[in-house]
Structure 1
Amino acid sequence: MSIDPEQTTRRARRGPVPPRHGRQKRGGGVVLPAVAGVLAMGLVLTGGYAAFAFTSLNNGVTKIDAIAPRSNGDDDVDGQAQNILLVGDDHRPDNATPEQMAELSTEDDGGATNTDTMIVLHINADGSQATMISFPRDSYVDIPGVGKGKLNSAFHYGTLNGGGDTGGAKLLIQTIQDLSGLTIDHYVRVSLLGFYQVVKELGPVEVCLNNAVNDPYSGVDLPAGTSKLDAKQALSFVRQRHGLPNGDLDRNVRQQYFLSQEARKVLSAGTLLNPIKMNAILSAVGGSIQTDTDLVSLGAQMRNLRPGNIQSATIPTLGTPTIMTNSGALSIVEVDTVGLPAFVQGLVGEPEEYTEATAAEPAATSVTVLNGSGVTAAAATASANLTARGFQAGAPGSSGTTKTTQVQYPAGQEAQAKAVADVVPGAVAVRSAAVTGVTLVLGSDGKTVSAPAPAGDTSSAPADGSADTGKTKPSKPRSSRSSEPKPSSTDVKSYGKEGVCIN
């Protein structure tokens, strides 16, 4: 594919330009790709009217073949954790009227589509808990078949050469799967106009800010405390990145927060039990939604979910540097790829295949040790100790600095990974698409492989020198490197609870 991976990101390199002629500078994508799933979830909870509403919503959306069938042929979501990729794009539909364009504070986009909001919604197996994991649009990542580029351009590349929206969805899904190690089960995408129409029909959504904000670029102008946002104000709210300490990373927080508050609004009795309002919302949603599957199954999976049980997090990052490319300077978000696998697993839990696996014999286990601890020769020492314990240890190497010691493994090598984890107390075993074999990444937490006890000595000491020889529960993974200002927070937040305010 002869594509310049920097071409579609040139707009991001331009500095901010104040709006002219009363028209606001268009922001990035929007946050309500999940509105379809939220509506479906709410309808499940109501009964009665739900059957008709489900049919209307499901029949109105555009279906695309974005998700490959399960290898075991089982498409039943009941009892299985689900990962839904929620996408908001900046594309303006061709049939948008000039009045609608003015309301959106935008203009014709020339046909290109960048997915500027990307959230993986993880639903646990019983559907009672959910976690939104945001992926910053400027994340500089490997795009399959393209090379390095900003994450928000992956969809555009997939649409080229006849790929269309299906090709765009497939390439974006593959990029996020490769980056995160997550398997995407469902896909929902909504346009800018769709966001506006849904919020307009839904009615004002209440938000709360700790500090007043006035940003001429996005158009947001709100006092400290509680405000009720109409559709146009909501667009400004989720677009803002100028004036926030961490720019686009803080915009992710705005989007997570607004989505959680929107869920509270959708699930309120005043919305769900009002057929006129629900019909208007369903009509607004249908023409602006693309999904891989029927929304009934999404709603059924979330039947036990409540807004207060939705958590939010953003993938760990290392900073927002400006790099030089063939096309000039490019502002990016550097992803903490070393710490990301453990961070994701800390949110979604260990894969079932790992928990059910039986540790392989050391002699049947090949492992490579990488030093991310900053301690000289740590990988060489650990490799020697693994060899002494009967493992097939390869040549040691190095990785980026990380706090958490990890046993990374590809799908299918769970038994071998468990064998290595058993001799590194406190290490976190994580499935990763970035490795082709079991890889022990040593972190600064001091977890490592102890030398085997001499023959006849039945005592053993844990690798970290503590008195407890059992495995310790790992702390929540954090970004492996810090910088000022702090580029991102890996704290998990619950924005759907009543009375929550943000900065």
Structure 2
Amino acid sequence: MVLPVTNAPEETRPRRADRAVPPRHGRRKHHWGVVLPAVAGVLTMAVLLSGGYAAYAYNRLASSVTKVDAIGSAPPAEDDVDGRAMNILLVGDDHRPDNATPEQLAELSTETDGGATNTDTMIVLHIAADGRSATMISFPRDSYVDIPGVGKGKLNSAFEYGTRDGGGESGGAKKLIATIQGLSGLTIDHYVRVSLLGFYEIVKQLGPVNVCLNQPAKDAYSGVDLPAGVSELDAKQALSFVRQRHGLPNGDLDRQVRQQYFLSQEARKILSAGTLLNPVKTTKIIDAIGSSVETDQGLDLLSLARQTSNLRPANIKSATIPILGTPTIYPNGYALSVVEVDTAGMPAFVQGLVGEPPAYTEAKAADPASVSVTVTNGSGVTGAAAAASAVLTQRGFQVGAPGSSPTTATTMVQYPVGQEAQAKAVASVVPGAVPVQSTTVQGVTLVLGTDGKTPSAPAAETAEPTQPSSPAEPSEEAAAPEPTEPSPSSTAVHEYGQEGVCIN
């Protein structure tokens, strides 16, 4: 028997009485929810409220933006890895408003959705404490994650779970926020949500946005038909551009690149004099945002404007959480295409974005003889932890019994608060390892990743220590010089807001 494969979240599809998930048949509707309307709304609000129309814009927005009780209890202060930085969860869903007219739906090349609320776009906008830089962190909708109170499921089903049993939109927002906080370790400070139609209206009022492609793109599913080079997109073309996944090598993951790139270029448009110095356009943009954006009750638009007053497009970066692959799994006997998240490597990824804790930066490496360390193997190479433990013992560390770890791409030195000096001693002999403060370890722990980083042998050694068997020998990579503060190797951070940037 051939099992059906689906990209839809199984939790939001109708269930049979035996709780098995029925397969989908026939042609699927073309959903547009993967667009990124919320970022456009946040950037536009921040810019307008910091400009010459601040008082006018604030009053007009405050009376029209919908507020929802979205932020639940925050994690303990000691678990907040980025201090005074601000994290805004930006959500774009595929919901079409009940009052959308047939003409509006036709303009969007879509149809009614039957009340679906899949959150197909989820981005954490991480704004540095000084407001001078920001990173858009994308969370793939098909990420197979732990949903609090539910179990394993696709990330884009968390919101729908929260709406059940009278939870409504508030419950959906809280469930999604709890899921992303548990996955990333970041504390979500605020929440912004915009529907499909909202994105369209905001982009329509902003006016055409230029994009640049390295090669032509044509896709009948999304409606994209663009030449290589620079193209000027109207609102309808923008929707097609950010929803394309067919014809792209990595499908939904490459679609995220399209979204990140478009929003970075859109930020350039928002900050242009032609937008900010045009009072008619400014008013139309404000009205489009006010009628489209839903925020948490505590989001102070003026405070946001003050924090981002010095933010420039070139300082807005884009990243995607680290993943290990896109396997097909079989829950309830039905094939399900998912994104496997590198959960073990997530702390290193986040720290690469927010920076090292000051206590670690200021610490001096401890004497190895005073340091107890345990090695766990997340590399997938048999015997790697034992081999690394032997080298650390040779270097004078007190080494515990080796253990195992979930597979991770990044080699890390994890440590609890207060053991920064001990962690720095271990990191100093593992070139390329990323030191990560963690609340899940009791002592310093070296987690070996698939990047091949491993402890270097003492200088006095004349023979190479025995290495575990591996499909690919990592010895040359391990010996290569590394920067003192390496960025996570499991993901790439891009700067799409620069002038003249083109993508594939």
Which TM-score band applies after superposition, normalised by the shorter structure? 0.7 to 0.9
* Secondary structure in 2 matching 1:304: coil
- Whole-angstrom CA distance in 2 between matches of 1:92 and 1:358: 56
- 1:217 matched to 2:221? The reply is yes
* Secondary structure in 2 matching 1:83: strand
Partner of 1:88: 92
Cα shift at 1:336? 2.0
- Whole-angstrom CA distance in 2 between matches of 1:200 and 1:184: 29
Report which stretch shifted further, 246-255 or 305-314. Answer: 305-314
Amino acid aligned to 2:254: D
Partner of 1:228: 232
Cα shift at 1:211? 1.5
- Whole-angstrom CA distance in 2 between matches of 1:321 and 1:434: 27
- Whole-angstrom CA distance in 2 between matches of 1:398 and 1:69: 33
Structure 2 counterparts to residues 289-304 of structure 1, below 5 A: 289-292=293-296, 293-304=299-310
* Secondary structure in 1 matching 2:63: helix
Structure 2 counterparts to residues 176-195 of structure 1, below 5 A: 176-195=180-199
2:134 to 123, 126, 130: 130
Deviations 1:323-342 (A, max 9, x none): 11115111111112233321
Deviations 1:136-161 (A, max 9, x none): 11111111111111111111111111
- 1:422 matched to 2:433? The reply is no
Partner of 2:468: none
Partner of 1:397: 403
- 1:329 matched to 2:330? The reply is no
1:309 to 290, 304, 315: 315
Is the contact made by 2:131 and 2:307 (CA closer than 8 Å) also made in structure 1?
A: yes
Report which stretch shifted further, 335-344 or 175-184. Answer: 335-344
Partner of 1:460: none
- 1:338 matched to 2:344? The reply is yes
Is the contact made by 1:206 and 1:228 (CA closer than 8 Å) also made in structure 2?
A: yes
Is the contact made by 1:30 and 1:238 (CA closer than 8 Å) also made in structure 2?
A: yes
* Secondary structure in 2 matching 1:236: helix
Deviations 1:203-228 (A, max 9, x none): 11111112211211111222222221
- 1:26 matched to 2:26? The reply is no
What is the root-mean-square deviation in Å for CA atoms of aligned residues?
A: 3.6
Aligned residues with identical type, % of pairs: 66
Structure 2 counterparts to residues 197-208 of structure 1, below 5 A: 197-208=201-212
Q: 1:374 to 1:182 in 2, by over 3 A?
A: same
Amino acid aligned to 1:502: I
- Whole-angstrom CA distance in 2 between matches of 1:430 and 1:288: 39
Partner of 1:251: 255
* Secondary structure in 2 matching 1:276: helix
* Secondary structure in 2 matching 1:299: helix
Is the contact made by 1:373 and 1:446 (CA closer than 8 Å) also made in structure 2?
A: no
Is the contact made by 1:323 and 1:331 (CA closer than 8 Å) also made in structure 2?
A: yes
* Secondary structure in 1 matching 2:286: helix
Structure 2 counterparts to residues 368-407 of structure 1, below 5 A: 368-374=374-380, 376-380=382-386, 395-407=401-413
- Whole-angstrom CA distance in 2 between matches of 1:12 and 1:221: 35
- Whole-angstrom CA distance in 2 between matches of 1:434 and 1:96: 48
* Secondary structure in 1 matching 2:87: strand
Partner of 1:493: 494
Q: 1:41 to 1:376 in 2, by over 3 A?
A: same
Is the contact made by 2:364 and 2:424 (CA closer than 8 Å) also made in structure 1?
A: no
Structure 2 counterparts to residues 100-111 of structure 1, below 5 A: 100-111=104-115
- 1:35 matched to 2:40? The reply is yes
- 1:154 matched to 2:158? The reply is yes
Partner of 1:487: none
* Secondary structure in 2 matching 1:198: helix
Q: 1:140 to 1:209 in 2, by over 3 A?
A: same
Q: 1:472 to 1:256 in 2, by over 3 A?
A: closer
Is the contact made by 2:376 and 2:385 (CA closer than 8 Å) also made in structure 1?
A: yes
* Secondary structure in 1 matching 2:414: strand
Deviations 1:241-273 (A, max 9, x none): 111110000000111011111111111111111
Cα shift at 1:465? 12
Amino acid aligned to 1:46: G
Deviations 1:43-72 (A, max 9, x none): 24423x122112222332122232246689
Q: 1:14 to 1:500 in 2, by over 3 A?
A: farther
- Whole-angstrom CA distance in 1 between matches of 2:253 and 2:22: 14
- 1:140 matched to 2:144? The reply is yes
Q: 1:493 to 1:275 in 2, by over 3 A?
A: same
- Whole-angstrom CA distance in 1 between matches of 2:240 and 2:373: 50
Amino acid aligned to 2:84: Q
1:476 to 487, 496, 504: 487
Partner of 1:483: none
Amino acid aligned to 1:199: V
Is the contact made by 2:413 and 2:426 (CA closer than 8 Å) also made in structure 1?
A: no
Is the contact made by 1:424 and 1:447 (CA closer than 8 Å) also made in structure 2?
A: no
Cα shift at 1:379? 2.8
Partner of 1:448: 455
Q: 1:68 to 1:306 in 2, by over 3 A?
A: same
Amino acid aligned to 1:116: D
- Whole-angstrom CA distance in 1 between matches of 2:140 and 2:357: 25
Is the contact made by 2:352 and 2:487 (CA closer than 8 Å) also made in structure 1?
A: yes
* Secondary structure in 1 matching 2:160: helix
Is the contact made by 1:181 and 1:431 (CA closer than 8 Å) also made in structure 2?
A: no
Q: 1:109 to 1:222 in 2, by over 3 A?
A: same
Is the contact made by 2:136 and 2:318 (CA closer than 8 Å) also made in structure 1?
A: yes
Amino acid aligned to 1:475: P
- Whole-angstrom CA distance in 1 between matches of 2:369 and 2:179: 35
Cα shift at 1:440? 2.5
1:279 to 274, 283, 305: 283
Cα shift at 1:388? 10
Structure 1 gap ranges (5+) = 19-23, 454-463, 480-489
